[in-house]
Amino acid sequence: MANSLHYKSNLRDIFFNLFEVFEVQRHVLGQGGFAHLDEETMRDSLKQVAKVCENEIAASFVEGDRTPLQFDPATGTVTLPEGVKRSIHAWFEGGWHMLEVPTQLDGVGAPPSICWAANEMLVGSNAPVAFYAFGTFIARIIDELGTEAQKKRFVRPIIEKLWGGTMQLSEPQAGSDVGEARTKAKHVEGDVWHLTGTKCWITNGDFDAVDNIVHLVLARPEGGKPGTKGLSLFIVPKFLVNDDGSLGERNGVFVTSIEHKMGIKASATCVFEFGADKPAVGYLVGEVHDGIAQMFKVIEQARMFIGVKSMATLSTAYLNALAYAKDRVQGADLTKIMDKTAPRVRIIQHPDVRRMLMMQKVFAEGLRALATYGAFIQDQVELAGGHAHDEAKKLTRLNDLLLPLIKGYSSERVYDLLNSSLQCFGGAGFTQDWPIEQYIRDQKIDTLYEGTTHIQALDLIFRKVARDGGETLMALLGEITATIESDAGGEQLKAEKEQLGKALGQLQGILGVMMPRMQESLYHVGLHANRILESTAEVVIGWLLLKQAIVAVKKLPEAGEADRAFYEGKLAAVRFYAKEVLPNVALHKKVIEGGDLALMELPEASF
């Protein structure tokens, strides 16, 4: 039977992506702002992260799900289960939050690719604990966007005193439609404002493992424009912070209730009231009214984080299912099913179990490759001097293009595939003796967090493709074409290249069909945007699996026994994906070509 130490990391595949496929030791480590870092140090750090995640962080996975949070409405405070607090402290006491902190703030200053690899293991082992560590990123945002006074007041205290942090957008009447926000801000003096209003669905809004929590809150200044452009961003601490960094009095921002949810129960999802009984003091970030653009820096990080969370959940679910399938004896071999005396076999010998396992494997590894590719692009942006620099603009647009694939497609696909993880366990998977049922409940939120799947699809089409005339997407598809047309992989990968080439052509056909239809009615986009997101992601993932297989072909001749099995698994993965997944793109194209607007014309009474 399973216990709370459920988490199985996949360091071998993480290292394969980082050091064999993308070769960060050549292209990132030792370069520019990462000149102080080397491969050996980063490998050792990630090994240590895996160890703490598999043990101390994973230890409270079950406790956090089974032990309810305690909410005190009189004080607006949330008390966590003791085990969850121990897991949070284990992460901070190990100093692992410092990986992402820049060197000028005495952090490690690791590149995004390394940080996201560490985050994969943290969020895969215990998602609520990962959420509670969000304060470090909030400090980085204030350090980037705040005034010097704001930086002095908040940045180092958050990092050094391990304060929490949240992002606050949603309101009861304004979930996805952030522009409808009604929380108001009244100017007092300088960068000081008083906020009034209600925010809801706030992840980890309050918890008792830290001394303070710093909220980034979108609010509309009095007289501000309607819609998102009229919103500004404010730093609103739970406790006010004195000039010397010490804590002052309680601020007028209080939790009024917490949500009762189907999953991630250890994460306190809160409703907030601002300025009800006393002023809620907020500081205008950077003393500029540019709230939605500023908050998008947080939103994009959160979207990447949720995509990585989904991928990490599938990875550990697959590895748990694989271990079970190698151990569980049930039934005879299918070729001997009529022989009642035939020996019973382990279920990994059954064809359908192998099919389910391989489908999980190709996506666990394919989605990891997709996230690592996105992180590697972020590395290049930082090496080029950041998003504002001209040489980084193309890279930034590519990163932006990948985000809806990483978040939207990953979260949707993983929810489907976790059913296969559970199915491998048979009836045992439906019980709480094994972690899969909790994985499913904890992961479902990922398709809803930070913009639903359809919002991600619309973002891909309108903001990431149409806005630059398809230039960024076409450049990416050009890279895929170059890989297909190259000699890399030789005859061993000829069939897979042909299949990927067909899928690429079908994706281009989908785009060709949709462009003129967008002029006819945007309802066409609304009806088929998810298929476009899926098709784009499946082609890109197919390309990344092919690139992995090309590396495997090179490495196989000199590989030892363990590495040989690993590389052969990479060849098997791309071959399975080419046959079982890439044909989906042709189906999507056929459905889109035959689409019409009949559904939008159907009377509501007919539903």
Predicted confidence (pLDDT) per residue in 529-555, tens digit: 999 999 999 999 999 999 999 999 999
Measured CA to CA, the distance from residue 126 to residue 119 in angstroms comes to: 11
Q: Are 174 and 226 in contact (CB under 8 A)?
A: no
Phi, psi torsion values for 503, nearest 5 degrees? -65, -40
List of residues 6+ apart from 2 with CB closer than 8 A: 320, 433, 434, 435
Which amino acid type is present at position 260?
A: H
List of residues 6+ apart from 461 with CB closer than 8 A: 514, 525, 529, 532
Q: Which of 240-244, 263-267, 398-402 has the lowest mean pLDDT?
A: 240-244
Question: What is the CATH code of the structural domain delimited by 164-289?
Answer: 2.40.110.10
Residue limits of CATH 1.10.540 in the chain: 11-70+79-144
Sign of the Cα pseudo-torsion (446, 441, 75, 248, in order): negative
From the list 462, 499, 559, the residue with the least C-alpha distance to 20 is: 559
Measured CA to CA, the distance from residue 120 to residue 106 in angstroms comes to: 23
Catalytic residue list: 450
Q: Where residue 467 falls among pLDDT bands split at 50, 70, 90?
A: confident
Q: What is the chain's mean pLDDT, rounded?
A: 96
pLDDT exceeds cutoff 80 at 388: no
Quick one: pLDDT at residue 177? 85
pLDDT tens readout for residues 192-230: 999 999 999 999 999 999 999 999 999 999 988 999 999
Measured CA to CA, the distance from residue 383 to residue 379 in angstroms comes to: 6
List of residues 6+ apart from 288 with CB closer than 8 A: none
- Which 3 state secondary structure label does DSSP give 28? coil
pLDDT tens readout for residues 15-58: 999 999 999 999 999 999 999 999 999 999 999 999 999 999 99
Query: How many Cα atoms within 13 Å fall on the side-chain side of residue 202?
Result: 31
Tell me the sheet residues that pair with 167.
216
pLDDT tens readout for residues 546-603: 999 999 999 999 999 989 999 999 999 999 999 999 999 999 999 999 999 999 999 9
**498 to 365, 468, 485, 532: CA distances (angstroms):** 21, 29, 9, 21
Mean pLDDT across the stretch 128-155? 97
HEC per residue, 27-74: HCCCCHHHCCCCHHHHHHHHHHHHHHHHHHHHHHHHHHHHCCCEEECC
Model pTM greater than 0.95? yes
pLDDT exceeds cutoff 60 at 305: yes
Residue limits of CATH 2.40.110.10 in the chain: 164-289
Measured CA to CA, the distance from residue 91 to residue 86 in angstroms comes to: 9
pLDDT exceeds cutoff 70 at 364: yes
What does the block give as tokens for 206?
């309050």
User: Could you tell me what percent of the chain has a pLDDT over 90?
Assistant: 94
- Name the one residue in this structure whose structure tokens are 């071999």: 333
Bin 20: left if φ > 0, else alpha if -120 < ψ < 50, else beta.
alpha
Task: Mention the CATH class of domain 11-70+79-144.
Answer: mainly alpha
Q: Are 281 and 129 in contact (CB under 8 A)?
A: no
- Which 3 state secondary structure label does DSSP give 279? coil
How do strand 213-221 and strand 184-189 relate by DSSP bridges?
Answer: parallel
Mean pLDDT across the stretch 495-513? 97
How do strand 269-274 and strand 253-258 relate by DSSP bridges?
Answer: antiparallel
pLDDT exceeds cutoff 70 at 3: no
Note the helical H segments in 331-409.
351-383, 390-404
pLDDT exceeds cutoff 60 at 2: no
Quick one: pLDDT at residue 179? 86
CB atoms within 10 A of CB 104: 9
Q: Where residue 174 falls among pLDDT bands split at 50, 70, 90?
A: confident
Measured CA to CA, the distance from residue 382 to residue 396 in angstroms comes to: 10
From the list 134, 34, 116, 137, the residue with the least C-alpha distance to 375 is: 116
pLDDT exceeds cutoff 80 at 379: yes
pLDDT tens readout for residues 68-115: 999 999 999 999 999 999 999 999 999 999 999 999 999 999 999 999
Q: Are 571 and 549 in contact (CB under 8 A)?
A: yes
Q: Where residue 391 falls among pLDDT bands split at 50, 70, 90?
A: confident
Note the helical H segments in 146-281.
148-161
Measured CA to CA, the distance from residue 109 to residue 98 in angstroms comes to: 8
Q: From start to end of 127-191, where are the E strands?
A: 164-168, 184-189
Q: Where residue 369 falls among pLDDT bands split at 50, 70, 90?
A: very high
